[in-house]
Amino acid sequence: MECTVKWFDGMSFVAETGSGHLLAMDGAPEAGGRNLAPRPMELLLAGAGGCTAFDVVMILKRGRHDIRGCSVRLEAERADADPKVFTRIRFIYTVSGRNLKRESVERAVHLSADKYCSASIMLAKTAAITHEVELVELD
């Protein structure tokens, strides 16, 4: 895996991923940025959310559960001093479908957290991580 990040202007950067996708990043105005794109740490958090959502959907689909939707809200706290690593992250999953069993969804979340999601497993080295599951039954 590889990625190239180039300084663009002010405190704006453009990343080109190894798969050929472009991604913009910018700093906060108080740090010289223009607030034109997400902050790098926001992207790190979003990546962890995407990683675990991917796992949960894949696990439930493979188990032939009737999953229709999955979202993950992440709430994070960072250290006050540099390096301002994440110290706490709360993952809140909202999974919708038909006849979903709470234990099956929670099992998928735990498999992601403990075995499959490289991003959240790395973040757990510095952050206390919690997981919550909300189920939405669809007609």
Average pLDDT in the 13-18 region?
A: 97
**Do residue 31 and residue 48 come from a single domain?**
no
The arithmetic mean of pLDDT across residues 7-17, rounded, is 95
pLDDT band at 37; cut points 50, 70, 90: very high
Same domain membership, residue 58 and residue 15 = no
Question: Model confidence at 122, in pLDDT bands (50, 70, 90)?
Answer: very high
96 and 34, same domain (yes or no) = no
Q: What is the pLDDT of residue 26?
A: 98
- The residue segments making up the domain with residue 48 are 40-137
pLDDT on residue 132: 98
Angle at 77 between CA 76 and CA 80, to 5 degrees: 155
Q: How confident is the model at residue 23 (pLDDT cuts 50, 70, 90)?
A: very high
Whether residues 44 and 3 share a domain: the answer is: no
Q: Read off the CATH number of the domain in which 32 is found.
A: 2.20.25
- Which residues, at least 6 apart from 47, have a Cβ–Cβ distance to it below 8 Å? 119
- Same domain membership, residue 9 and residue 30: yes
**Residues 26 and 46 occupy one common structural domain:** no
Residue 84: pLDDT band with limits 50, 70, 90: very high
User: Are 50 and 71 in the same domain?
Assistant: yes
Number of structural domains (the chain) is 2
For residues 44 and 108, membership in a common domain is answered with yes
